[in-house]
Structures are given as C-alpha cells and as structure tokens.
Amino acid sequence: MRDAEVARSRAEAVQVRAVARFAALSEESRGVAAEVALTLATTEHRAQRMVAMAQALTSRLPATLAALDTGTIDAYKASKIVDATNPLSDEQAAAVDAAMVGRLDGRNPSSIRRAAVRQVAVIDPDGHAERGRKRRLERSVQLVHQDDAMSTLIADLPAETATAIYGRVDRIAKTLRGGGETRTLEQLRADVFAELCLGHRTAETRTEVFVHVAATTLAGADDHPAELSGHGPVPAWLARHLATRPDSVLRKVVTDPVTGTVLDLGRSRYRPPAALAEWVKVRDRECRMPGCHRPSHASDIDHTDDWARGGKTSAANLTGLCRRHHRLKVVPGWHFRQDDTGTLHVRTPTGTHHQSRPEPLHSAPPF
C-alpha cells in the first residue's frame, strides 16, 4: 500500500509542475482554469484550485514540493500547507515551508494543517492576530435543508465558543448512555444539542475548555500564540482576553516561556488521584494516538503498562487516550509503550511503528 501511495504522490508532483508550466506559458491567465478543466474533465472550480496550488508550490513552497516529489506527502496534504500560507508574503511563506521540513512524514492531513498553522502563527503573529479578529466578525448560523426530512444546521463560531458547546453536549450525552438507552452516542449528541437550543433541558454544570498560554504572554510581555486544546493556535490577545473574563468557561494553563512545560493549572487540587489525572490531561492536551486531536480533557486516562500487570499509577505511565483509541489497546496485535522521554510508541498488527509526544507550546527562544 505504501509503495502505491508513494507512486501516486510522485505522479501528482509531475502534474503540479505541468499545470504550473502551462499557466506560466499561457498568454491570457483568465482562460487557464477553463482549459485545465476541459483537459482533465473536471470542474472549473477544481481547476482553479489546481492552478493556484501548482503556482504556490513551484514558486513559494519548494520544500513542500520536494516532499511531494519523494512521496513523503500527497497533494491533499500539500494543500494544507498551501492553504495555511495563502495569506502570507512570499518571504513568510518560505519561512513556514522551511520550518515544516521534518514535520511531514507519517502525519495525517489534519496534523499537517495544524502544524502549518502553528508555524504561521509564530512567523506572522501580527497577521495571525488580525485575521483572527476579522474572522470573528464573520460568525453566522446557516440552515441547509436536506432530503428525507432532515436539515443541517451550520454555526460558524469563535473557536473557544464552539469548543465549549461541543464539550458540553458531548459530556451530557455520555451521561445518558446505559440503563436501557438505545440511542447511539451520535444520536444522543444531536438530541441533547436540540434540547439545549430549544430550552427543553435544565442548566448543567459548565464545561471546561483548556487554553495553554506562556506566562510571559499572559503578562503581556510578548505575543506568543496560545493553544486551545482540540483546536490549535489562537492569538495572544484572545488568550489574554479569555483568561481574564470572569464568566469564561476556559481554564488557563500557564506554561514556562522557555521550555513550554506547565507551571500552573489555574487552581489547586488536593486529592492526589484527581490532581495526577488533571496533570496528565494538561500535559498531553490531546489524545496521544498519532493523528488524533480529541481534547485530552474529554479522553480517558490510560495506564500504558496495564495496572493489572504491574504498571504504576504515575505520570510516566499514564497517557490520555480518547475512548476509541483506548479500546484499541485490547485489540489483538496492537501494542502501546511509553519510554523514559514520555514518547508513546504504538505498534500495529502489521508491525509498523508510530510514535507521538506532546509538542511544546512554543519553540525555545534563541540565545
């Protein structure tokens, strides 16, 4: 399978160069997408995307194109870097392109997008902050009627608001399982969401959402991007705003500005088991399964080495895994191991090896 994927990626790189060359040689740019669409029997909208991506890869993102050449990534993964760097200048895009070298192999499209956005926030913090302000002005709710007496409700909301809403719906839905309940978790989430919107459900305890922010950023000494668990980078101004609002559902997690390690959880816990569980969730931020971004505060705390087999209940042996990947541990052929550095190693039934380690909130400053 992997050989076939590499071959497909290399063929996509050839096509990218061909499309870029055709666009460069065309005397009238307005007809390029139309001719590409006719040649490849695709829509003009898709052809426009192909032309724009080919031009970006060949002129602004040489390292990403090289990764496509070698089969490290495919065109869809490359598009995540193209989209993330779209608002940047050529110089800034080149810096993100260089920073992504070594961060691509073995990552799924969602992980690559988040890594690219994180680099954009570091390289262009002012632009990232301003784009965040503008996007919040575009919040909206849309109703799209579908077939078979169903409709889709789309809410375009600030990340912290949407994260808190989903967390609350998910938590309530999970409490309703069992006791003869026949609805699936997805059905329960949909029903709980509708009940909350229509006022048919009484108030529930607020759901906490974690935002990781450097101590220096919180104090206003710098503008390092913060990290919203399950979402990714958010501008420093937003992190400071959320951390100081008295009605906020977010928990601020203050980190060391040099190492990115946790300094403060925002309040004290006195029961050791609860404190340890909270520490692990804050450290991991998300499910530790490579490529999974479910927030750790909505995940299980797992003994990497099973407790029943002598595994210790310690930070070095505990990881946050979402319920789906927690259950994967008991499937024959899957093996999980955590080494002394905190890296989680996952071996699949076919013998392939994958690993994950919580990324630092920000890079250490140069000295």
Q: Of the candidates 123, 147, 162, which is a domain's last residue?
A: 123
Same domain, 216 and 282: no
As given in the structure block, the two tokens for residue 272 are: 């050791």
Beta bridge partners of 303: 318
pLDDT of residue 185: 92
Q: Is the pLDDT assigned to residue 149 strictly greater than 60?
A: yes
129 belongs to a structural domain: no
Q: CA angle at residue 264 from 232 to 321, to 5 degrees?
A: 50
pLDDT of 269 above 50: no
Q: Do 298 and 174 meet the contact criterion of CB atoms below 8 Å apart?
A: no
Q: Is residue 322 pLDDT above 50, yes or no?
A: yes
pLDDT of residue 241: 81
- Same domain, yes or no: 260 and 289: no
- What pLDDT does 2 receive? 84
Residues 65, 105, single domain; the answer is yes
Q: Is the pLDDT of residue 258 over 60?
A: no
pLDDT score of 265: 47
Looking at the structure, tell me whether residues 7 and 118 fall in a common domain.
yes
| Overall domain count for the chain | 3
Average pLDDT, the chain: 85
Cβ neighbours for 37, distance < 8 A, ≥ 6 positions apart? 43, 44, 46, 47
Q: What contacts 39, CB < 8 A, 6 or more positions away?
A: none
Range of the domain at 16: 2-123
Residues whose CB falls within 8 Å of the CB of residue 210, separated by 6 or more in sequence, listed in order: 228, 229, 250, 251, 253, 281, 282, 285, 295, 297
pLDDT higher than 50, residue 354: yes
Instruction: Answer yes or no: do 288 and 225 share one domain.
Output: no
Residue 203 structure tokens: 């108030």
Q: pTM value?
A: 0.70
Tell me how far apart the alpha carbons of residues 128 and 238 are, in angstroms, rounded to a whole number: 11
Beta-carbon contacts of 153 under 8 Å, excluding residues fewer than 6 positions away, are 141, 142, 143, 144
CA 115 to CA 84: how far, in whole Å?
10
Q: Measured in whole angstroms, how far is the alpha carbon of residue 90 from the centre of its chain?
A: 25
**pLDDT band per the 50, 70, 90 thresholds, residue 247:** low
Final residue before a domain boundary, out of 264, 285, 303: 264
Q: Contact at 8 Å (CB) between 38 and 50?
A: no
The pLDDT of residue 281: 81
Write out pLDDT tens, residues 43-101: 999 999 999 999 999 999 999 999 999 999 999 999 999 999 999 999 999 999 999 99
Same domain? 233 vs 282: no
Does residue 148 sit within a domain? no
In this predicted structure, what is the pLDDT of residue 154?
96
Among 66, 93, 123, the domain boundary falls at 123
**Domain for residue 246, yes or no?**
yes
Q: Tell whether 282 and 351 lie within a shared domain.
A: yes
- Is residue 365 domain-resident? no
144 falls within a domain = no
Q: Please spell the DSSP secondary structure of 189-226, one letter per residue.
A: HHHHHHHHHHT-S---PPPPEEEEEEHHHHTTS----E
* Same domain flag for 241 and 297: no
Instruction: Report whether pLDDT(270) > 50.
Output: no
182 inside domain? no
pLDDT at 367 over 50: no
Please, which residues bridge with residue 233 across strands? 227
CA distance 327 to 116: 30
Same domain, 218 and 115: no
Q: Contact 165/171 with Cβ under 8 angstroms?
A: no
Residue 170 in domain: no
Express each pLDDT in 106-144 by its tens digit: 899 999 999 999 999 999 999 999 999 999 999 999 999
Do 117 and 19 fall into the same domain? yes
Does one domain contain both 249 and 304?
no
- Taking only Cα atoms into account, the Rg of the chain, rounded to an integer number of angstroms, comes to 23
pLDDT tens for 8-55 read 999 999 999 999 999 998 877 788 999 999 999 999 999 999 999 999
State whether the Cα torsion 341-344-349-352 is positive or negative: negative
User: Is 130 within a domain?
Assistant: no
